[in-house]
Structure 1
Amino acid sequence: MSLPSLVDLPTVLLPCASRAGTALQEQAERLASWPAARREALARVGALSDFVSEQIVRDPLAFLELADSGELERPLRPGELREQMNAALADCDDEAELGRRLRRYRNRQQLRIVWRDLSRQADLNETCCDLSDLADASIDLAYHWLYERHAAQFGTPIGRRSRQPQHLVVLGMGKLGAHELNLSSDIDLIFGYPEGGETEGVKRPLDNQEFFTRLGQRLIKALDAITVDGFVFRVDMRLRPYGSSGPLVFSFNALEQYYQDQGRDWERYAMIKARVVGGDQVAGKQLLEMLRPFVYRRYLDFSAVEALRAMKLLIQQEVRRKGMANNIKLGAGGIREVEFIAQAFQLIHGGRDLSLQQRPLLKVLQTLEGQGYLPPAVVDELRDGYRFLRYVEHALQAIADRQTQMLPDNDLDRARVACIMGFAGWDAFLAQLMHWRGRIDWHFRQVIADPDEEEGSGDGGCVGAEWLPLWQEALDEEAACRQLADAGFSEPSIAWRRLSDLRNGPQVRAIQRLGRERLDAFVPRLLAQAVEHDNPDLVLERVLPLVEAVARRSAYLVLLSENPGALQRLLALCAASPWIAEQIARFPLLLDELLNEGRLFKPPQAPELAAELRERLTRIPEDDLEQQMEALRHFKLAHSLRVAASEIAGTLPLMKVSDYLTWLAEAILDQVLGLAWRQTVSKFGTPKRSDGSLCDPDFVIVGYGKVGGLELGHGSDLDLVFIHDGDPQAETDGAKPIDGAQFFIRLGQRIIHLLTTQTTSGQLYEVDMRLRPSGASGLLVSSLGAFERYQRNEAWTWEHQALIRARVLVGSARVGAAFEQVRAAVLGQPRDLDKLRAEVSEMRAKMRDNLGSKATAAGTAPNAFDAEAPFDLKQDAGGIVDIEFMVQYAALAWSHQYPQLLRWTDNIRILDELGEAGLLPEEDARLLQEVYKAYRSAAHRLALQKQPGVVSGDQFHAERRAVMRLWRAMELS
């Protein structure tokens, strides 16, 4: 929000404008030397703020000193405020004097900050940061001053386990924690210390708990006590465990135990913004890491919405009870509602999306937009409305340095607020304020409101209320089946039995009361949406296993209850694909993907995929292998679901589906190689090239088969070969050196481990390494030279066929280019065509015998085209493998004359090249392309239905006959 400059002072404020100037009459000469802008600002700011006028009246010389320093017209540089306060306390040796100096410095800075805010020389960010820096410096410098003297009196606290000196950790909560303090904010603090023990160095030692309790009391007094000089900051300790009735300080173990066992939802909300503001910063960081799992759950936590909704209800009741509708923080459309919106997303998604684990609200809103949680237009309104409200809050508090968010009820202060905000009068200001409050409240209700309020029946009942008696067994079986039949279930007795089995099953019987309440609220919703589908029996059959799987993790049920659109998409996808239903039942975290319809049906392009995964992994500590592996698996599951959903919805054609799945594999392999390389190098050092320089990494992962040919399907494994170009004999440069050959084998093993290890989120991919030189009996990793020698001298024709579909997926660009040269040289050799045809035909015949449909002699028997006969889309005559073998034969036969045949690794583009070169009639090339795509499309659909790639023999007659005709034309039969 860009605020206008101050308008001329209204008449009602003119008498206030002279007060500060009157106090400075004796300094008329000094005032005359001031710039005109400062003299004008003195009148304006004095008229707008009683606090400023009173400070000038109390100590005009201190004000003039501040003005002469130039600090009224410039921002402080980073760290300057702390330097000044440190200097102010430098020779202080008395606790009462500490309090005086802290207060006098606070008053000086508060005057400067209010002046710059009201004269609009400082924006919202500067004002909040200066106030927060002032609090940080006050807390930390006062603490260290007091600690030194406290320890001299009572001894140095020593940890019982570590035997190290202990310091207090002061956590700043709320706006202080987020660096967002307002002009007259109190500070919410929690005190902790690392471990129990007792003090040393005195005759009568104190327990650490007692030591830090007394120290905490002295610190609070130094900051909070009101004296003739005022106060530094009002201190609020009620956010600590057990509130006002609990101990003042807690050991780290006690804090962790409390939040683990008794922490409440509002305490999670408060802890989001916790920051170390004083004491031991290193130990404080460890404490926040200990408490992070309490705040951010590893799973999607939609129960947070329920908690925030309950908190909001309590606030609304308090607002009504105390008549605080004009409170711009707590009232409808106030500051708290913007905070609730942001923190709802943080609590729900922050455990998995680390970008949301930050404190400042405006940065959280920016992340919500950038990560697609909220549309840009919504974020713009929330951001502008929030900034407007914060400026209003500062205007209210600047008047008298009073902690208030209530709109004034007198004409003088109303005129001040309107003037500060740049409006000609109160009515114009109020209209703008109500506009922003209305927009914020509307957005708040979209996020936090109970879906039953929006979608319930006209009598106020919840969605699906008509199904509640059936679910809770208030109906007998006959009546229940009648209701199911009337609603459209074709087999109501089976549906009833499925529901009964769920209700009475061990998973549901074992859940606690809250989980059962959530299940009872969810199942009626499920039934209400299921009957909207053409086949509710199928929907129920596929979705109930998911319900059973998550019954004890009922936050997922809350997610679906809170998001009717997500439930709708879940049922539609499960009805369309049992594969999707099984994936979500196995990995319920995928429910997150259903929340954003636009994102679900629009998977990102290759560069965005790679960038998104890179960004996710950079937020995870390098030594946290478990979290890295989980992040990789969740990324793969989520994007695989998005591709499948897009395929079902018709927004992605077959070729694009394979492209996306291949891009996904490449993005994952790139990060896996990076992780494996760093881990292996950290253990053994870096391997060397033959010239003695270090490898970086001189290693590539080559993809064969479907991944090499950009034809990955749902659930495809990866055919991989590992190749390096380091010196096999040279030792690595680490503390535990091994030779290069061993290093690259360890690297390959690490890659396979990262890809195939089963975690709670499954494995990334099944990996098949049998296409490497010498197959399963060969080395796991080949040097580039050994790979070339093998391909030239020992490889079978079928291995050269496989090499046609081989390409470098990730790794060293230099080694990748060298691999392409080897591939081109090997495949581009002149060949004896009769021998080549014989070998290709022989291999194809073996495959048909072993893998084709037995009932039809792999599609060659007379009954192969009967409706009762099976047709294996891949292996039977006229199927996918016949097309692949024709393409591979053509590439091997003619690439020495037509090297463009080796440019691509996918069959579609190789067929393009064959047609353009005249090696295959263009109509035949197009025919093979269309048939190939038709077969693969059918195979994809069957995979999503969890069915093998086999159709009835009365399908694809024309296609099969055309492929068989062209096979014979190439003399491959």
Structure 2
Amino acid sequence: MATRDGFSMTAGALARRGFGDGTRAARLMAESGLDPGVHAAVIDSLSAAADSDQALLGLTRLVETAPDPDELRTALLDDPDLRSRLTGVLGASTALTDHLVRHPGDWRELRGADAARNPGTEELRAGLLHTVGADPNADTPVAAAGAADPDGPEHALRVAYRRRVLRLAGRDLTGAIDLETAAAELADLAAATLDAALAIARARAPQDAELCRLAVIGMGKCGGRELNYVSDVDVVFVAEPAEGVEDEPAAMRAATRLASAMMRTPGATDAEGTLWEVDAALRPDGKNGPLVRPLASHIAYYERWAKTWEFQALLKARPIAGDAALGRAYTEAIAPMVWQAASRPHFVDDVQAMRRRVLAHIPAAESDRQIKLGPGGLRDIEFSVQLLQLVHGRTDPAVRSGNTLSALEALSAGGYVGREDAAGLADAYRFLRRVEHLLQLHRLRRTHLLPSADAPDGPEQLRRLGRALGYAANPVTDLTTAWRQVAGEVRRLHEKLFYRPLLHAVARLPGPEARLTPGQAGERLEALGFADPQGALRHLEALTAGVSRRAAIQRTLLPVMLGWFADSPDPDAGLLGFRQVSDALGTTPWYLRLLRDDVRVAERMAWLLGTSRYVTDLLLRAPEAVALLADDADLARRPATALTAEAYSALRRHDSAEKAVGAVRALRRRELFRTAAADLLEVAGIDEVGAALTAIARVTIDAALRAAWSRVAAELGEEPCTRLCVVAMGRFGGNELSYASDADVMYVHDPRPGADPGEATRQAERIVHELRRLLEMRSDDPPLVLDADLRPEGRSGPLVRTFDSYAAYYGRWSSTWESQALLRAAPIAGDEELGERFTALIDPIRYPQGGVSDKGVLEVRRLKARMEAERLPRGADPTLHTKLGRGGLSDVEWVAQLIQLRHAHELPELRTTGTLEALDAAVAHGLLTADDGATLECAWRMAARVRGAVMLVRGRGGDSVPTSVRDQSALAGALGYRDEEDEEEGPAGRLLQDYRQLTRRARTVMERVFYDEP
């Protein structure tokens, strides 16, 4: 044991400080001349290295080979920056340690101002060219014979390259530079190496250098200035005959020899090892094509033969060595082709398919360790960014960067990627590249695989990697956890962005339309069918003006959405509605992000706004409801229990009846939008529409009744002395409400025992009046009108009756029509026990024992005939009136109700308030033939859909099919009729034909069943 000034260097103490083998560490320290009292700071620095044992062994080797070990030990003590850089390198890279041992004086490369400074591109190029004796200022630098070391200029170049990497690693491993700086310097260093290698090639073959101009185009990570420590450097060669040389084939052969010689220099192996391979496989025709081509040949190839992936590769192309002017000419000629590649047929599909092929070829054993190619790896990020660039870069030069992080930042600034998504991808990219750099630094070998924990040295490698990343406490666990989290997040974002449907939509736009000028927009608007192109253009200008993120996203969306607006019945109304909704929600962070990231929402929104004034009005009152369009599940009818719970919660939250019922009416408004959207998008059928509209009306009335009851109780100072029940009638009771329907109801109350009947009635009337006031008070939400005209004695009778009064009236005065009306009565709010008693009271009346009498049947028939003659509006076409017209809703409903009056007393299945359920029961019991039942059902469904669609399209109720061609076309579009080839009548004509055909058949059945049968 050696101790000085409290510092212990026992094996146990060293193990606690992070050394794996304390005994060996103590011995190596002694051999290195490290005194625990004098060199405590050095030992602390070693213990903090990624691999303390490796760092200590490396320092020991370096001390053994250093010409002056004392100078090294003294420098380590006196210079904290040198100490942290050297121990960081020794602990992270055995390859750089070997370099230091081979060149023991090179530890000084990590010392002083130069070691801390980031060299510029020109400094790196000039330095390496000087190394081989070439003039960096010459147009075509040539290495000087005998200017390099005795082992040749190639060896000198490799040594100089390693020294530059050593300096870079010293700054990188101590956190003095970020990933972007390190990757850019590595790319610049590779470019400088190629320039120096080309200078050597010119010196070896001066006759070839005189025949040609040769430019080296960097591709991949080198082209994007984001190179790894060890990576193939992808290049493409372009050459032209030198000035005065007319023999192009000879010039190309000379250029090919120069390029081949240049490629061999960094890829050759000697005592310094191999730097990296130069890969020219991305050239036209790949490895089967000539290594070097003239510029015209490149252009011809890319114009005629190039595949999608080749343009994706060219996105990063930039001149890195050789003839600079020729390199610029190449990129200027090729770049326009790159940024129009997204217009190619199936471009997006091709890029996506290529990514899937890469994944498919990863060995299963490596998939969860591949940080480059695997799911959630670097390729997912790069492919996502490149696809977005190629699609949007056609019209936005700001995103045309070969650098992944720069491009991602530009895509975010332009609104093509959400800020959070861009930040998540950028952080993940930096993490993965940092891991990749550390993996490669260890032995300076090309690798992208995380060590396997099951391998013999896997845990040790993972520990070193984790410590280098700053995970000091639990390096293996923390690294593994971080990798899984990052990979999962990258995969999620990749799938979100890479497979975003908007990419297909934007890519399909002709190039000039992807970003419209005012003149182009006006022409396209007129061609698309906008009735007021100038008005539409004003909306577009208002939406896209300025430099805000909102405007940028709108500029991306609108060229695509114009086509969707044009597909809707009223493009002008759709665009106006979109502007109004966007004005209301434009500053809301999620709104434009939702439209951009989920193109189905934007497409659905365009269709709805251009189809339905009713939906547009609802959306303008509650624009946040647009979020419901993202998923069919969000458009599904919500359970009544969930609606009731939400309504009761609103009642509890607010301290006044007005505010509470206002919140409930807002809930109803949202549900009306949900139902209407599901209806128009064909997510819901007419049965679900009626059930949904009925359910939200019931919940709204029930909640408002509770609020009204509480208001009256508060005014009275006690609970009212009666019980109250609201009974739904008509289509409301039948669970068949439409958008334009009022809520037909009756009110029944029952005084509590001992209460004064007159006072109980007055209190019940106060509650009902308050209920109606709350439901109809002025607000942004649609009112819910309660219609009590179906009560006994109609409008002449009292609004509210006692239970006993109903019993007396029905016992003495009720007529057949009231029995028929009661077929659809259903308690929906208020006292449940009273509702059950009322149902028991009316069942014998609506389902009379023995069935309705012959006199009653005659009365029903006369009433039906009278209604047709008197209630059909003057001038209305009886073949197109959905409610009272021939074969319309009334015809079908009266057939069902007459069957119920006759047979429900003996057939419980007929005791239903729903029309279609009654028809099904009648067919099941042979009271209707299956064909007749189907005919009536189809007509009822068609009439109900048309009646609902009239309200949706026009924003106001109407029982007849519109007479104007424009309204008929809009109605047909809302009902799902589309233009078909070789069709003369068009969608509106087919709608009228189908409607008349179905209702004509239903009228025939109705007349036979309703009037002719006994």
Q: What's the TM-score, normalizing by structure 1?
A: 0.48
Please report the TM-score for the alignment, with normalisation by the length of structure 2. 0.46
